[in-house]
Every structure is written in structure tokens, then in C-alpha cells.
Amino acid sequence: MVNTTTQSQTNQSSLTGEDIATLIAHASNVIVPLSPISIFAARHPWVNLEDKDFKHVVRWLDNTRDVDIYPGTKTIKQAYRDGEISDTILEEKLSQWLNTNNSELSSTEKYRYCTGALKFEDLAKDTLQEVKQSNLARVSLSELMDDTHMVRSMPPRSKHIKYKNPHTYLQLLDYHVIKWCKLYLDENQSSWTLPNREQGFFYAWKKLVVHDPALSKTERQTLATLPNDPYEVIAEALTSLDIPEASRQGYLESHLLALPGWAGMLLWQMEQTHKKSHLITEYLAIRLALEWTFINPYLPIATTRPIPRRSLQTLVGEWYEWGGLDVTNWQQMSLEQQQEYLKFALAFDDKTRRQIWLEAWEETYEDQLKEQLLTHNQDQQNNQVEAQLAFCIDVRSEQFRSQLENAGPFETIGIAGFYGLPIASAKLGSNHSHASLPVMNSPQHKIKEYARPHEMKTYHERKNSISTLIYTFKKMKQNVLPSLLLPELTGSWLSAQMLSRTFLPRPIGRFIHKFYARWLQKPKTSLTLSHDKFGVEEGLPVGFSKQEQINYVHQALKLMGLTEAFAPLVVFCGHGSQSANNPYASSLDCGACGGAASGFNAKVLAMLCNLPDVRKGLSELGVEIPTETVFTAAEHNTSVDNLTWIYLPTLSREAKASYEHIEQVMPQVSKQANKQRMLTMPTIKNNIANPEEEAHRLANDWSEVRPEWGLARNASFIIAPRRSTQNKNLEGRAFLHNYDWQQDSDGSILGNIIAGPATVAQWINLQYYASTVAPHYYGSGSKTTQTVTGGIGVMQGNASDLLTGLPWQSVMKSDFEAYHAPLRLLIVIQAPNAYIEKLLSTNSDFQQKVTNGWLQLASIDNDGTWQHWS
């Protein structure tokens, strides 16, 4: 690069690699690591901004990226019509805001204006005509406004630049960056891999960009002169573009926020590979180099200026229509009086109004939940519990659990689906392991599934034959000559498959599943539970030591409050989903297991609990498990609401009777759960004759865009004994985690729940929130127009950001009505206030979430008093 001024040269010399690294480290907080869609793991997009107030981040995003993260007016109005927002609470929230406003206007005037503004009605044409007759010339709106009420125009803006508007320039820059990101991050989906990819993103780009036909000859020559060090490129770009020192971090943040999907995927790759060559640095070097190349001929470019969000005429018109003023009133006012009215209108802007509506919506939900939880259950008959079933805290488990409890003397328990096991799982026949725990943690052990050698060999051969067939078909499609023969060879078969899967999705789906199962003939397997017999792989011990086995089981049983009164049969229920032609299949699996089904973890824990040495060790810790108690594992299929047994050892007589009872009632449980769930689907009629058949159709239909709702409408996380939530209609909106403070003398169990499962739930909640309020930026658009790219994610078209948020169909009933209620998660803890105070004082991250409004916190004291913590 050639610096444009002497001042730029001076500034460059003061920018060291360490300075650049520090700038990038701070700027990277505006994005989050995003995993490939095949292992979809929920991360809320503002996780690194929780040190700032939620309301501040709302304003900042709106000003810098024109991204609005408050619920839209249509969503708010629909919630109000549905009775989800109380008039009384809305009035209280408005009063609270008015009490904090220091305007000198009378209370009557302020209240009248605000109540009119809260209706979200457009100004009448007569009002706008009346405003034109007002004398507004002497009022200077810019003097009253700060950055809160301004939006900055996007650079560059110059009459000399060849791009017609700044957005054209930004689109060009994004187009080129997207192209190179696709090539670098491709997971073997394309026929040709990016040359020199193994030597780093920046190196590979720099070698090839000089041959890019999409660039002009001059631009290619300019890029050929770039330094080989990405840090030097960034330093020269910052100085050549004359970015002031105070604005450099914000400038880099803007570049990262321009394509948060691609940048987030690179950040995830950094975390996984622990590369010393920082991909984010290389990514920014490429963006800045391209930007400098595009606009260098037109430097210097005029600095952009803030633009008012609301015109003077609009503000005055609002006072005419909502505040009761008229032309005569306005013209008779002094300049100071007019400014007072305008300042108040600026303060009570659209963001403030929707903030009040959101808070009223959240408090209304809290009041409704409070009423349910503080209503005591009628005394239940103390029947002998036949079985205890531990389900994931997932909101979809709540309604299934209720149906199961109503069907017999069964007790259900809530715990995070990874069951407290920090493992990487390697299923039979897989060459790769999956981190089967919350994404904020790292595996400490590897557990592999294995079988007898000759059975393993046969299974591998059958599985590889299918993989080879799929691989060959893909390669034939990608090559010129074989692709010409492919229609002749496979046309009849593919046509039959298309017709059958289109018109007979349910029976064909079942046939395909049965065919694969019979073909593979998966043998009976074991797990590498003992580290003494297995070594170390990928830096992780395979299996557990004997003491670790005891410790993990003891910890899991304490987390679920199951340390006494064991039933003859204990079932650890993982969960997974089933759908066809669905890139988002993993988003419907267990969020606590990093986007995988949690049956594997359930099986590991059940097998550990049955080990004699583990039971002996638990006995020494005061946990006595009766000899007739047997631990088993099953998996809840959330798409069709059934339960499949995945580990069923030899049962005692008592346990066998419990198992048979569960099998007897399960068809009715599944039917009722499906019926309840199908009523929420927008395409299903209320009088559906067979809800189970319809659920299977949705799960097997390859044209179905909504096989299930997933975790939509999640709103609360309840940490309490099951008796507090049992027989309550929680509408499938609550994460339920068992907890008894009387068994947690030091509060450590509560601390673990908050640090792990509650954090996962909050991330899920805010991901659904973000995908609902800003689907164009944090969501991924309609499934019908998505393109799977690089094997890592989806795009809209072939040149968009990598869209790793939730699709439109996961949060919306229709184009105009949201299904998910975008509320910040409400955590309810049943424990004495002293426990909550200790939790907030010792867990600074959690206190920060509460204080800065990233979640809501309430508790139920031991005397039944409800306390809201703010």
C-alpha cells in the first residue's frame, strides 16, 4: 500500500502487531463462535456484550448496523390481543418511566402524550397537513439530538466515487469476502479445494487474489503489493484510510458485524484448532485490504454525518395528535417551551415505547407463572412410585412428563440432558467424536461405543458400503462425463423415490428407517467406561478411573435430587428428533449436548450406576441404592413423542413389573402428548383424528418445513422440586430442573445449575429471541429459499452472509404472525433469599446478567414469598 499522507506514515509507525492484536481481541466481542449447522449449538449473539446494559446494546446495534432487537409493533399488538400483556402492568411500567423523566412539562401533558404514543398508530393526514401550517423555522432540531436519536449514514459518501451509493460499495466488498470465505471454509463439498489452504486463510487468498477475474487489472496490481503479514496489512489500511485512533475499534467491529456469520464461523474454527495463526486477524486483513483497494482512488472521502431518525414535522405532529396541542398553542409558545416539548418527544421515542411494552409483557408472564407456582397442589395419594424417569430440562419434555405422570405411579425428574458427564462421544462405526456437553465447556473424557471384533468388522463393511454409494453418486454429479450418464443410470430409481416420498411420506419414511436398521444390523455394543482398559486418544483419557466413575454418578444423582427413596426402575431419558430433508435437524436435538441426541449420555450414566464398585462407593458416601433397583436408558423422540429403550440390562422382578407398566401406558401417553402438540401446529386442524399419524407424517415428509416447533415459546427456567410444578399447565414453555435447597447446605448444587444448565437455557432463549426480532440479521430466512453451502451452513442465494440462526419457520406461524414470544428468560429459584444473595455475590457473571437485563430473576422463599430480583 502507498500511504496518502505524512500523517498516515507517522500513525502507522506507532501501530505495532501487539496493538493490532489488542484491538482485534476487543472488537471480536461483538461476534460469537458459530458451529457448523450439522452440530447446531445454541449461542446467543450478544454473549460477549453482557457487561453492557441490554438497553444500551439495543441502541448501539440500531445506530451502528440498523438492527432493531426489540419486538416489532405487530408482534406486540398480537401479544396484547392474545391477553399476554396486562393493561395494569403496562400502566405501571409507563408510570415508572415517567418518574425517571425530568421534563418540566405537566404530568397530565406527559401522560396524555405517552398513552397516545403507546398505541403505535400512524399520524393522520389531517394532522400532517396542520403541521405544515405551523411556524417551525426557529426550532433547531440538531441542537436537541444526541447519538441516541441519530443514525449514521454508511461510508463512503463522495461525489467523486464511482459507486452510486454507499450500499453498492458495501455489497461489492461483502461479495468478494463471502466468495473467499466459502472457498476457505468448505468442508469437502466442492470438487476442488482451495490451493494453499493448509498454510492459512490470508496466505491462500493473497496467492490467488492477483488472478481474480472479478477484479480490475489495477486492483489486482494494487493487491499484489500487499505485505505478507496480515498485521502489517491492517496497520497500513487503518493509517491509509485515516481512521482516528479513537474510532479504530469501532471500525473493526463494523467490519466483523458486516458478516457476523462468516466471521463467527472463523472464530469457531479458531477455537477448535487452537491455531496460532488467528483466522479473525486474517479475515480482517483481507476485508481491509479489499476496502482500501476499492476506495483508494477516491481518497480522501468526506466524513459521514448523523441523520435524524424523526423529522421536526413528525415530532410536532405527534404532539398535535397525541398531546392535545394545536397550531395556536404551538405558535404562542416561546422557543424554550417548544424545545421542552420536543425534548420530551425525543426521549419517549419508538425504542423507549417498545422497551416499556417488552417489560410489561415479561412482567405479565411472570405474574401468570407466579399465580400458578404459588397455588398449592391438592394432596396426592402417596402411591408407591414404580419408576423414576429423569428427562432433560428441555421445554418439550415438560408436557410429555405430565402425560406420563398422569398415566401411573411414575415420578419424573428434570436435569440437563448431558447428565453432568463432560464427555466426547464416539458412536459405533464413527471415526470422529462429538463433544456431548454444553458448548461453553470442554470434554474431559472420551467414551467410545464398541462391539466384538468380528461383529464390528461386518458392521463397518455394511456402513461403508452405504457411505461409498453416496460418495460415488456425489462425485458423479460433480464430474462432467459421469454426470451425463447419471440420469440414465438412476433416473427411474430417483423418480420412484421422489413420487413415493412426496405422496406417501409416512409409510416410505418408516420403510427407509427399517431398511437401514436391517441392513446395518447394529450389534450389541459396550462402552469404554473403564480407563484402566483403554488408553488416551485425542488428548483425552478413554473412560473413567474408578473414583471418577463414583464422583460423576454421585454428582448427577445430587443434581437431580435422587439420593434416596429409589424406585425399582430408574430410567435416564435422553432426547433427539426425527425429520427428513432438514439442514436444521441438529437444532432439534439436545442443546445441552452440543446439538446431538442425548441418549448416549443417558446410557453412559445408567451403565455406570449399575456397576457394583460404583454402588459400593456411593454407599460409602451415604447413598444407598436397593439391590432391586436397576438403571436403564431411553430416548424421547420429540418429533413424534415416543420413548425408545436404548439400554435395558437384566431387570429385577420389581423393575420388570415397572418396565411392563410403562410399556403398557406408553401408547396412550404418546397419543395424548402428540395431540397436545399437534394443536399448536398452524397447518393442523383442531379435530385431527389421529395425531400420532400426523406427527409421523411431519417427521418423514421431505417437503415439510416445520416438523416440530423445537424450543419455540420458551420463557422460563424453574429450579424447584417437581411437586412445585406438577399438575400445572406450563404450556411447554418452562425448562424444569429438579432442586431441593434442603439437600444443598452450601449452595454448591444451585451454583452448578446456574453455571451450566441455566446458562445453556439462556443462550437458547436469546437465540430464539434474536431470530424472532431480527430474522434478517440473526435468523436465516425461509427454508424454502435457503442454499446449503460448504457443508457448514446455509445462505440465501449464493452471496449472502452465512446464516446460522434459526429459520423463519422455527419462530413464525405465518408471514405476519410470530409463534415464539420474544421474552428474556425468567429464572425462578425455590430457595431462601439467603441462597439467592449468596449466589449473586459469588457468581459475578450471573449477577451481571441480572443487573444488565439479559435475563429476569425471581425466587420463592421457604415461606412461599415471591421475590423479584433486579
For residues 417 and 592, the answer to whether their CB atoms sit within 8 Å is: yes
Q: Is the pLDDT of residue 444 over 90?
A: yes
Of 555, 543, 530, 546, the closest CA to residue 621 belongs to 555
Of 554, 699, 568, 704, the closest CA to residue 637 belongs to 699
Please indicate, yes or no, whether residues 251 and 162 belong to a single structural domain of this protein: yes
* pLDDT at residue 153, rounded to an integer: 47
Residue 84: pLDDT band (50, 70, 90) is very high
Give the least confident one: 152-166, 295-309, 582-596, 837-851: 152-166
Please indicate, yes or no, whether residues 512 and 458 belong to a single structural domain of this protein: yes
Domain C-terminal end among 498, 520, 542: 520
Q: Is the pLDDT of residue 155 over 60?
A: no
Give the least confident one: 148-162, 268-282, 813-827: 148-162
Q: Is the pLDDT of residue 803 over 50?
A: yes
Answer whether residue 270 is part of any domain: yes
* pLDDT at residue 495, rounded to an integer: 73
Give the count of domains, the chain.
Answer: 3
Please indicate, yes or no, whether residues 208 and 225 belong to a single structural domain of this protein: yes
For residues 8 and 240, the answer to whether their CB atoms sit within 8 Å is: yes
Please indicate, yes or no, whether residues 318 and 171 belong to a single structural domain of this protein: no
Q: What is the 3-state secondary structure (H, E, C) of 505-540?
A: HHHHHHHHHHHHHHHHCCCCCEECCEHHHCCEECCE
Run of H or E including 79: helix 73-81
Domain C-terminal end among 487, 520, 553: 520
Q: Is the pLDDT of residue 669 over 80?
A: yes
Answer whether residue 219 is part of any domain: yes
Answer whether residue 750 is part of any domain: no
Q: For the residues 48-57, what does the mean pLDDT come to?
A: 96
- Measured between alpha carbons, how far is 286 from 241 in angstroms, rounded to an integer? 15
* pLDDT at residue 140, rounded to an integer: 66
- Bridge pairing between strands 786-789 and 793-796: antiparallel
* pLDDT at residue 706, rounded to an integer: 92
In this predicted model, what pLDDT tens digit does every residue of 478-504 receive, in sequence order? Answer: 666 666 666 766 777 667 777 777 777
Please indicate, yes or no, whether residues 109 and 245 belong to a single structural domain of this protein: no
Please indicate, yes or no, whether residues 240 and 292 belong to a single structural domain of this protein: yes
Please indicate, yes or no, whether residues 256 and 333 belong to a single structural domain of this protein: no
- Measured between alpha carbons, how far is 121 from 697 in angstroms, rounded to an integer? 43
Answer whether residue 107 is part of any domain: yes
Q: For the residues 729-751, what does the mean pLDDT come to?
A: 95
Residue 138: pLDDT band (50, 70, 90) is low
- Quickly list DSSP for 350-409: HHHHHHHHHHHHHHHHHHHHHHHHTSPPPPPP-PPP-EEEEEES-HHHHHHHHHHHHTSS
C-alpha cell at 355: 422497551
Q: For the residues 709-717, what does the mean pLDDT come to?
A: 97
Q: With 0-12 CB in 10 A as exposed, 13-18 as middle and 19+ as buried, what is 274?
A: exposed
In this predicted model, what pLDDT tens digit does every residue of 762-782 receive, in sequence order? Answer: 999 999 999 999 999 999 999
* pLDDT at residue 502, rounded to an integer: 73
Q: Is the pLDDT of residue 151 over 60?
A: no
Q: Is the pLDDT of residue 522 over 80?
A: no
pTM for this entry: 0.92
Beta pairing partners, 573: 391, 634
- Measured between alpha carbons, how far is 23 from 807 in angstroms, rounded to an integer? 33
Q: What is the 3-state secondary structure (H, E, C) of 88-112?
A: HHHHHHHHHHHHHCCCCCCHHHHHH
- Measured between alpha carbons, how far is 211 from 216 in angstroms, rounded to an integer? 10
- Going from the C-alpha of 23 to that of each of 155, 278, 478, the distances in angstroms are 21, 13, 43
C-alpha cell at 533: 482398559
Please indicate, yes or no, whether residues 118 and 159 belong to a single structural domain of this protein: no
Angle in degrees, CA 106, 134, 333, rounded to 5: 35
Contacts of 149 (CB under 8 A, 6+ apart): 308, 309, 310, 346, 349
- Measured between alpha carbons, how far is 204 from 207 in angstroms, rounded to an integer? 5
Q: Is the pLDDT of residue 160 over 60?
A: no
Please indicate, yes or no, whether residues 206 and 179 belong to a single structural domain of this protein: yes
- Bridge pairing between strands 826-830 and 856-860: parallel
Neighbour tally for 483: CB within 10 Å: 12
For residues 749 and 559, the answer to whether their CB atoms sit within 8 Å is: yes
Please indicate, yes or no, whether residues 263 and 346 belong to a single structural domain of this protein: no
Length of the chain, in residues: 870
Collapsed DSSP state (helix, strand, coil) of residue 426: strand
Residue 137: pLDDT band (50, 70, 90) is low
In this predicted model, what pLDDT tens digit does every residue of 184-202 receive, in sequence order? Answer: 988 766 666 788 888 899 9
Q: For the residues 212-229, what does the mean pLDDT come to?
A: 93
Answer whether residue 386 is part of any domain: no
* pLDDT at residue 555, rounded to an integer: 96
- Measured between alpha carbons, how far is 666 from 664 in angstroms, rounded to an integer? 6
Q: Where are the beta strands (DSSP E) in 112-266?
A: 150-152
Q: CA torsion 618→622→627→630, rounded to 10°?
A: -60
Please indicate, yes or no, whether residues 188 and 336 belong to a single structural domain of this protein: no
* pLDDT at residue 157, rounded to an integer: 38
- Measured between alpha carbons, how far is 22 from 234 in angstroms, rounded to an integer? 13
* pLDDT at residue 127, rounded to an integer: 84
* pLDDT at residue 16, rounded to an integer: 86
Of 648, 612, 628, the closest CA to residue 568 belongs to 628
Q: What is the CA radius of gyration of the chain?
A: 30
Beta pairing partners, 717: 735, 827
Phi, psi of 200 (to 5 degrees): 115, 155
* pLDDT at residue 726, rounded to an integer: 94
For 330, the domain range is: 85-150+307-366
C-alpha cell at 292: 482500501
What secondary structure letter does DSSP report for 183? H
Binding positions are 392, 394, 575, 590
Q: What is the 3-state secondary structure (H, E, C) of 839-864?
A: HHHHCHHHHHHHHCCCCEEEEECCCC
Answer whether residue 645 is part of any domain: no
Sequence-ordered alpha helix ranges (H) in 621-652: none
Binding positions for Zn(2+) are 392, 394, 575, 590
Q: Is the pLDDT of residue 159 over 70?
A: no
CA atoms 450, 454, 455, 456: torsion sign: positive
Please indicate, yes or no, whether residues 312 and 236 belong to a single structural domain of this protein: no
For residues 855 and 396, the answer to whether their CB atoms sit within 8 Å is: no
Helix, strand, coil content of the chain in percent (nearest 5) = 55, 10, 35
Domain C-terminal end among 520, 551, 572: 520
- Going from the C-alpha of 607 to that of each of 456, 527, 529, the distances in angstroms are 21, 9, 8
Answer whether residue 71 is part of any domain: no
Q: Where are the beta strands (DSSP E) in 2-54?
A: none
- Measured between alpha carbons, how far is 849 from 840 in angstroms, rounded to an integer? 10
For residues 344 and 105, the answer to whether their CB atoms sit within 8 Å is: yes
Residue 380: pLDDT band (50, 70, 90) is low
Contacts of 14 (CB under 8 A, 6+ apart): none
- Measured between alpha carbons, how far is 606 from 167 in angstroms, rounded to an integer? 57
- Measured between alpha carbons, how far is 514 from 404 in angstroms, rounded to an integer? 27
For residues 737 and 416, the answer to whether their CB atoms sit within 8 Å is: yes
Angle in degrees, CA 667, 673, 679, rounded to 5: 130
Give me the residue label for grid cell 419455540. 712
Selected residue with higher pLDDT from 508 and 676? 676
Q: CA torsion 838→839→841→843, rounded to 10°?
A: 150
* pLDDT at residue 271, rounded to an integer: 84
Q: Where are the beta strands (DSSP E) in 484-629?
A: 526-527, 536-537, 540-541, 569-576
Exposure string of 104-123, with b = 16+ CB inside 10 Å and e = fewer, is ebeeebbbbbbeebbeeeeb
* pLDDT at residue 190, rounded to an integer: 61
C-alpha cell at 833: 433469599
Which residue pairs, CB below 8 angstroms and at least 24 apart, start in 620-629? 621/550, 621/554, 622/563, 623/554, 623/557, 623/563, 623/564, 624/564, 625/566, 626/566, 626/568, 627/652, 628/568, 628/652, 628/653, 628/654, 628/655, 629/566, 629/567, 629/568, 629/569, 629/570, 629/655
Answer whether residue 673 is part of any domain: no
Contacts of 369 (CB under 8 A, 6+ apart): 716, 730, 734, 826, 828
